[in-house]
Amino acid sequence: MGQVKSQFSEDELQDYEDLTYFTKKEILYAHKKFKNLAPEKVGHNKNAKLSMSKVLEYPELKANPFGDRICKVFSSSNDGDITFEDFLDMMSVFSDAAPKSVKAEHAFRIYDFDGDDMIGRNDLKQVIKRLVDYNSDLGDNDIEQLINNILEEADLDDDGALSFAEFEHIIDKSSDFINSFRIRL
């Protein structure tokens, strides 16, 4: 730990502590994890930018069907490349301490593939396909029916897409969301 500590000054740690949901210890731990992804690069420059494929080696992101989406949402350059600050931001949002509203906002952006601020039919299709794994035998008709049913249930204003308010309405009522939308550091 001592070696890691030397990369951050006390002020920087305080700064990160104020801006994320982590304690100083956890920030250092997060940095250790980040460093493990690319020891050379990060050892040289603590805020190095790692490419998306590198970041996707992080076990939780690797197993996650939305791993690339997560990287894109949290990337400050919007191309999926992740700096340490982005990584810290990501882990902070996925931590236990983050409130539901913050998690919901990011979940919405992860599921909003085309970035039009609505989860439309295409987004839903992508989500379902990724959830059941691409090479599964769930037919297009079935997916269509699922999408129709989802919209029937959750699209309160009948505009054929889920807005953030509708999405948040679902999340708000879910007691399991906060447990599942979480990555232990």
Partner 1 sequence: MARHRAVLNDATFHVEVNEAGSRRFQQGSNGADGAFKTPPDEDKIEVLQEDTAEEQLSNEEGLFTPTGNPLASQEDQFQGVNVSFSQSFRRWSSNFGRSVKNNKRTVYNKTIRLMPSRIQKTLSIDGDLITTSASDVDHITMELGQREQLMEDNPIAEQLRIETIKSIAHKISTKRQIREQLSQTVNRRATRSKSIGLLRRYRYSGKLYATRAAKLLRSFVTNFELFYGSMKQIEGHFGSRISAYFKFLRRLLVLNLVLLLFIGSFVIFPQLLAGRDPVGSEQDITERQEFHLRDLFTGEGYLSESVMYYGSYSNRSFTLVPGTAEYSLPHAYFLTITVLSLVTFVVVSISMGRSYRISFIESSATVQNILTHKIVCSWDYGIANEKAARLKHTTILNELRDYLAQRNRDPFVPGRWHRLRREALRLVVHVTVLGMISAIAASLWALLVRFGGTDHFTAWSALYVSIVSNVTMAAFGYACQLLGRLEQYRQVATRLNINLLRLFLLQLTIVGVLLAYWLTRAHAATGCWETAIGQELYRLLVVDFFISTVLLGAARGVRYLLHVHYGPVKGAAPPTTLLGRHLTPPPFCIETHSLGLVYNQTLLWFGVLFAPLLVLLVAVKLLLVFYINKFELIYLCQPPARLWRSSQTQTLFLVLVFVSLFGVMLTHGYIIMQVPVSAGCGPFRGTQYMYQLFMQGILKLREEHLFWRVFVYITKPAIIGGVLLTMGVVTYYLRAKSRAQIAKVKLLKELLGMEAKDKKFLLASLNKVAHGKDDQLDRIELVGGGRINGPADKYYTDPCATWRYEETPRKTGDGGTVQGTVVDITGSCSSYQPSARDELELVFGGTLFVESQLPARPKQCNGECDIMPPD
Q: Tell me which residues in 101-140 interact with partner 1 (CB under 8 A).
A: 101-102, 105-109, 111-112, 117-118, 124, 127-128, 131-133, 136, 138
DSSP states of 56-125 = TTSHHHHH-TTHHHHHHHH-TTSSS-B-HHHHHHHHHHTSTTS-HHHHHHHHHHHH-TT-SSSB-HHHHH
44-83 footprint of partner 1 as x/- string (CB under 8 A): ---------------xx-xxxxx---------x-------
Instruction: Pick out residues in 5-24 that bind partner 1 (CB under 8 A).
Output: 15-16, 18-21, 23-24
Of 96, 84, 115, 116, nearest to 15 by C-alpha is 84
For residue 157, the one-letter residue type is D
Handedness of CA 144, 145, 146, 148 (dihedral sign): positive
Residues contacting residue 68 through CB under 8 Å, at least 6 positions apart: 52, 56, 80
Residue number with CB closer to partner 1 (35 or 106):
106
Find the shortest distance in angstroms from Cβ 18 to partner 1. Answer: 5
Find the shortest distance in angstroms from Cβ 78 to partner 1. Answer: 10
Q: Is the CB of residue 154 less than 8 Å from the CB of residue 174?
A: no
Residue number with CB closer to partner 1 (40 or 166):
166
Residue number with CB closer to partner 1 (10 or 40):
10
Size of the residue set binding partner 1 (CB under 8 A): 78
150 is a contact residue toward partner 1 (CB under 8 A): yes
Please pick, from the candidates 28, 86, 91, 126, the single residue that binds partner 1 as defined by CB under 8 A.
86
End-to-end alpha carbon distance in the chain: 16
